[in-house]
Amino acid sequence: MAQRNLPPVTPAGFQVLLALAGGRAHGYGIMGFVGEITGGSVQLGPGTLYRTLARLAADGLVQEAPGMSEDEPHDARRRYYQLTDLGRQVAVREAELLERLTAAAVDAGLLDGQARTA
Amino acid sequence: MAQRNLPPVTPAGFQVLLALAGGRAHGYGIMGFVGEITGGSVQLGPGTLYRTLARLAADGLVQEAPGMSEDEPHDARRRYYQLTDLGRQVAVREAELLERLTAAAVDAGLLDGQARTA
DNA sequence: TCGGATATATCCATCTCGGATACAACGAGA
DNA sequence: TCTCGTTGTATCCGAGATGGATATATCCGA
C-alpha cells in the first residue's frame, strides 16, 4: 500500500503518470497514448499536457530522460520524460484509488465485474 | 457498451453518480459516502456537492426523489436524489473508462491485478 | 527545395474545485 | 417549552485546472 504524504495530482497529471509508467515517452507520444487507452474519451490538449509535465517535473514526479533510442529514429525536437521513484509511488496510490472506485462501481451494479487486463 | 452522445461529467460529478448508483440518497449522505469508498482521499466540500447536484439535475442525469422511507427517521430538510436512466448510462460509461484505466495501470505494473469487490 | 506533419511551448477565457459563510430545521435535555 | 449543539441545504469567493488557439521550429517525403 502507498499512502504517505505524497503530493496530490490532478486528473490530467495522473493520465501523464500512467502513460509514463510503461516507460519513458515524449510529450506528443503521451498525448496519443492517453487518447488510445481511453478509447478517445480523454484527450489532453497541448496546453494541458505541457503545463502538466512542467508541474510534475517541478514536483519531482517526472524527470527529463536522455533521448537516445535504438529502434526509433532520432528527432532532436523530442524531449523524453520518465517517472521518478516518487512519481511511481504517486501513480500507485492513484491507481489504487481507481481500483477502489471500480470495485464500488461493480458493487453498485454499473459493471459486470469480470474482464480484466485488456 | 455505452458510448453515445451522452453529456460529459466532471470528476466530482462521477463521484455523485457513483454514490447514487446504489440507490437514492440525500446531499449530506453523499458527502459521507464518497469519503468512505475512497478511504477519505476524496472529499467533496458542500460547495462542490450542491453545485454538482444542481448541474447534474439540470443535465437530466439525476432527479429529486420522494423522501419517504421506512427505516430512516423523517427529516423535512433532506432532499433525496436518484439517477435517471440517462444518468445511469453516463455512470456506466464513466465506470467503463475507469475499468480501462485500471487495466492500463495493471499492464504498466502499478497494480498486482487480482483483488476485487471489497 | 517545398510543403505538410510532427513537436514543443505559451496565452487566454472558461470552468471546476474546496473552504468559508449563512441560515433553517431537527433532536435531546433541563 | 426553551435552549443548544448537530444536521442539512445553499451561496459566495479566490485559487487553480482545463482545453483550444496560436506561434514557432524541425523533420521527412515528393
A22-78 residue pLDDT tens? 999 999 999 999 999 999 899 999 999 999 999 999 999 999 998 766 556 678 889
Residue B68 banded pLDDT, cuts 50, 70, 90:
low
Give me the residue label for grid cell 487518447.
A35
pLDDT number for residue A118 = 43
d(Cα B46, Cα B27) in Å, to the nearest integer?
9
How is chain B split into domains, by residue range? 11-68+79-107
Using a 7 Å cut-off to protein CB atoms, list the covered nucleotides of chain D. 7-13, 16-23, 25-28
Contact A49, A33 (CB under 8 A): no
What is the grid cell recorded at A94? 492513484
d(Cα A21, Cα A98) in Å, to the nearest integer?
15
Closest by CA position to B42, among listed A55, A11, A45, A15: A11
Residue B116 has pLDDT above 80, yes or no: no
d(Cα A86, Cα A59) in Å, to the nearest integer?
9
For chains A and B, count residue pairs whose Cβ atoms are closer than 8 Å. Answer: 105
Using a 7 Å cut-off to protein CB atoms, list the covered nucleotides of chain C. 6-12, 15-22, 24-27
Q: How close, in Å, is residue B113 to chain A by CA atoms?
A: 8
Q: What are phi and psi of A94, to 5 degrees?
A: -65, -35
pLDDT number for residue A6 = 87
B11-68+79-107 has CATH 1.10.10.10 classification: yes
C1'-nearest nucleotide to the CA of B75: C26
Average pLDDT rounded to a whole number, residues B61-89: 86
Q: If DSSP codes are grouped into helix, strand and coil, which group holds residue A5?
A: coil
A22-26, B65-69, B96-100: which range is least confident on average? B65-69
B69 close to A (CB below 8 A): no
**Are B100 and A21 an interchain contact pair (Cβ–Cβ within 8 Å)?**
no
Residue B32 has pLDDT above 80, yes or no: yes
Contact B115, B106 (CB under 8 A): no
B101 close to A (CB below 8 A): yes
Residue A15 banded pLDDT, cuts 50, 70, 90:
very high
pLDDT number for residue A5 = 78
Contacts of B105 (CB under 8 A, 6+ apart): A18, A21, A91, A95, A98, A99, B111
B3-28 residue pLDDT tens? 567 899 999 999 999 999 999 999 99
Average pLDDT rounded to a whole number, residues A6-21: 96
A11-68+77-107 CATH choice from 3.40.30.10, 2.20.25.90, 3.40.50.300, 1.10.10.10: 1.10.10.10
